[in-house]
Amino acid sequence: MQTPQQNIDLRSDFPILQREVKGKPLVYLDNAATTQKPQVVIDRVSDFLANENANIHRGVHHLSMEATDAYDGARARVAGFLNAAHPEEIIFTRGTTESINLVTNSFALPRLESGDEILLTGMEHHANIIPWQLAAQQSGAQIKVTPFTEIGEIDIDAFENLLGERTKMVAFTHVSNVLGTINPAQQMIAMAKEKGLPVLLDGAQAVPHLPVDVCALNCDFYTFSSHKLFGPDGVGILYGRKDLLNDMPPYQGGGDMIERVSFENSTFRSPPERFEAGTPNISGAIGLGAAIEYLESLDRETVHTFEQELLTYATERLKEIPGLSITGTAPEKVAVISFTLKSAHPHDIATILDTAGIAIRAGHHCAQPLMQQLGVPATARASFAFYNTIDEVDKLTEALIEVNRIFGS
Ligand code: C6P
C-alpha cells in the first residue's frame, strides 16, 4: 500500500493538538462530534470579548455599532460560504438541532394536516427525526423512511417511489455521521422538486468536508453547526429561501424580533431578525465568521484530496485487523469510519484507545434507527479532519491490534 504524502501541515494552527493526554500526544479522531479550533478563531472571540463587547442592534453608542457590524459581517460571510443569494437568508441559531426545530415548528407545522407524509431516510441523526416526529404527532402526519443499502447508500429508487401524493415535506442528511456516506443531494432534491416539494438538508457533517452551494443544490433549507466547522459551540445556521422565510411566523418571541409591541397586538420584523429573539451568541457568531475566513484561506481542493487519501489509507490499515468490520463503505464518503471488532464492545475499544491518548467516539451516535437497521447496538467511530496525519492512523491501527491482544483475539 502506498503511503499518502502529508502535503499540508496545518497542525500548528490548532493549539490543542500540541497537548498530551494520559502522557501521550493527543490523537484527536472525534471530529464528527466536534472539531478543534484554530488560533485565529480563539483570538477573534477573545479579541471581541476583550475589546469590542457590546449588545447588538440596540445601542447608538460606538461599541454597539461595532459589535453589530461584526455580527452582520459574520452573517454575510456565512451567506458567501453557502452561496446564498442574500445575507437575510442566514439565521443564527444555537445549532443544527435548533435550526431543524425552527423549520418543523414555523414552516412545517402550519402546513401539515392529518394523513400527510414527511419523508426522511433511515440514516438520520436524532436531530432530524425527533422534531419531525413531534410535528407529526401534533398534526396527524406520518413519517416515511427511505431505506439504505448494505454498503450505506440511499436506495434511490425507494426514495423516488416514496415521494407520493401525500408527501408534504422531505428532509435528509447531506452526509451521514455514522456511515460517512455523501448522499446524492442534488439528485434527491431534483426528484422532490419535480413534485413541488420543499426540502431540508441537514448539513452538519457535510460543511466540514465539502463545498456547499445552496443555490446549485436548489434546497429550501440547509442547516449546520459552527462547532463542527472549526468554530465556537452554541451557534448554528439555518439557511432558508427568502420567500419561504418571509411567510413563516416567529419561532420564539422576545426582544429584537419585533416592530411594535402592545398588549393587544404585536408585529414582527422581517427575517432574519424575526427568528433571532433575544440576545444571540454574538461572540460565537463572530467566531464562526473567523472560522470560515480561515477555511477560505486554505486551498480546499488540496484539503479535500488529503482527507480522501487519509480515508483510503485508514480504511486499508483497519482492514488488516482481524475481526474488524467497517460499517459504511459507499464509494462517495467523507473521512468517517465506523467499525466493530469481534473481540470487544465499542465502549471497551474507546476506553482502551483513550489510554493511548486516542480520542474516538463509541455508541449509537444519536442514530438509533440506523443502528437498528445495521443490527448492532453501537459502533466505534474514528472521524478525521485535515489536521490528522498518517502517523495518527498508524497509531490507531496499533492501538486496535492491542485491543485484540487484550481481549484475546
Ligand atoms: N452529531 C456526532 O458525534 P448539534 O448537536 O445540533 O450541533 O448537531 C446535531 C447533529 C445533526 N445532524 C447530524 C448529521 C449530526 O451529526 C449532528 C451531531 C454529533 O455525530 C453529536 S451526536
- The verdict on the CB of residue 125 being under 6 Å from ligand 1 is yes
List the residue whose alpha carbon is closest to atom 5 of ligand 1. Answer: 97
β pairing state of 199-202 and 24-25:
unpaired
List the residue whose alpha carbon is closest to atom 18 of ligand 1. Answer: 33
pLDDT value at position 329?
97
Query: What CA–CA distance (Å, rounded) separates 405 from 409?
Result: 6
Name the β-bridge partners of 383.
30, 336
Residue 240 three-state SS: strand
List the residue whose alpha carbon is closest to atom 3 of ligand 1. Answer: 33
Residue 13 three-state SS: helix
Flag whether pLDDT at 409 surpasses 90.
no
Instruction: Find cell 465539502 and name the residue.
Output: 210
Q: What values do phi and psi take at 315, rounded to 5?
A: -60, -45
Instruction: Kindly report the length of the chain.
Output: 409
Mean pLDDT for 338-361 is 97
pLDDT value at position 408?
84
Position 21, amino acid: V
Which is higher by pLDDT, 360 or 4?
360
79 Cα–ligand 1 center, Å: 21
CATH architecture of 11-30+300-406: Alpha-Beta Complex (3.90)
Ligand 1 atom closest to residue 202's alpha carbon, by position in its atom list? 12
Ligand 1 pocket test, pick from 125, 173, 364, 383 with the greatest ligand atom count within 8 Å of Cβ, gives: 125
Is residue 376 a contact partner of residue 296, using CB atoms and an 8 Å limit? no
State the sign of the Cα–Cα–Cα–Cα dihedral 295, 296, 300, 306: negative
> How far, in Å, are 139, 218, 256, 363, 371 from residue 195 at the CA level?
22, 14, 37, 37, 31
Q: For residue 140, what is its C-alpha cell?
A: 396527524
Ligand 1 pocket test, pick from 28, 29, 96 with the greatest ligand atom count within 8 Å of Cβ, gives: 96
Residues 24-48 have pLDDT tens digits of 999 999 999 999 999 999 999 999 9
Is residue 45 a contact partner of residue 67, using CB atoms and an 8 Å limit? no
Query: What CA–CA distance (Å, rounded) separates 130 from 143?
Result: 10
Residues 334-345 have pLDDT tens digits of 999 999 999 999
10 Cα–ligand 1 center, Å: 25
Which uninterrupted H or E stretch holds 382? strand 379-383
| Residues contacting residue 59 through CB under 8 Å, at least 6 positions apart | 65
Is residue 27 a contact partner of residue 383, using CB atoms and an 8 Å limit? no
- The verdict on the CB of residue 173 being under 6 Å from ligand 1 is yes
Question: Cβ of 312: how many Cβ atoms within 10 Å?
Answer: 14
Query: What CA–CA distance (Å, rounded) separates 144 from 167?
Result: 9
59 Cα–ligand 1 center, Å: 35
| % of the chain at pLDDT higher than 70 | 98
| Residues contacting residue 268 through CB under 8 Å, at least 6 positions apart | 249, 250, 257, 258, 259, 274
- The verdict on the CB of residue 202 being under 6 Å from ligand 1 is yes
Bond before 272 cis per omega within 30 degrees: yes
β pairing state of 236-240 and 258-261:
unpaired
- The verdict on the CB of residue 139 being under 6 Å from ligand 1 is no
pLDDT value at position 5?
54
- The verdict on the CB of residue 365 being under 6 Å from ligand 1 is yes
pLDDT value at position 8?
60
pLDDT value at position 9?
78
Ligand 1 atom closest to residue 30's alpha carbon, by position in its atom list? 3
386 Cα–ligand 1 center, Å: 19
> How far, in Å, are 42, 128, 153, 164 from residue 158 at the CA level?
45, 19, 12, 11
| Residues contacting residue 98 through CB under 8 Å, at least 6 positions apart | 236
Is residue 179 a contact partner of residue 336, using CB atoms and an 8 Å limit? yes
25 Rama sector, left if φ>0, alpha if ψ -120 to 50, beta otherwise: beta
| % of the chain at pLDDT higher than 90 | 96
- The verdict on the CB of residue 45 being under 6 Å from ligand 1 is no
- Give 59's pLDDT tier (boundaries 50, 70, 90): confident
Query: What CA–CA distance (Å, rounded) separates 170 from 149?
Result: 19
125 Cα–ligand 1 center, Å: 7
238 Cα–ligand 1 center, Å: 14
Flag whether pLDDT at 121 surpasses 70.
yes
Residues 10-25 have pLDDT tens digits of 999 999 999 999 999 9
- 8-state DSSP, 311: H
Residues 144-174 have pLDDT tens digits of 999 999 999 999 999 999 999 999 999 999 9
Ligand 1 pocket test, pick from 35, 97, 361 with the greatest ligand atom count within 8 Å of Cβ, gives: 97
177 Cα–ligand 1 center, Å: 7
- Most distant CA atoms of the chain, gap in Å: 72
Q: For residue 284, what is its C-alpha cell?
A: 460565537
- 8-state DSSP, 337: E
- The verdict on the CB of residue 223 being under 6 Å from ligand 1 is no
pLDDT value at position 95?
98
Average pLDDT, the chain: 96
41-296 classified as CATH 3.60.21.10: no
- The CA-based angle 31-33-38, given to 5 degrees, is 50
Residues 300-328 have pLDDT tens digits of 999 999 999 999 999 999 999 999 999 99
408 Cα–ligand 1 center, Å: 34
Domain segments of the chain as ranges: 11-30+300-406, 41-296
Query: What CA–CA distance (Å, rounded) separates 8 from 94?
Result: 32
- The verdict on the CB of residue 338 being under 6 Å from ligand 1 is no
Q: What values do phi and psi take at 407, rounded to 5?
A: -90, 10
To the query of whether residue 366 is one of the catalytic residues in this protein, the response is yes
Topology match between the domains 11-30+300-406 and 41-296: no
DSSP letters of 72-109? HHHHHHHHHHHT-S-GGGEEEESSHHHHHHHHIIIIIG
Ligand 1 pocket test, pick from 222, 366, 371 with the greatest ligand atom count within 8 Å of Cβ, gives: 366
Q: Which residue in the list 26, 145, 366, 401 is annotated as catalytic?
A: 366
Residues 225-247 have pLDDT tens digits of 999 999 999 999 999 999 999 99
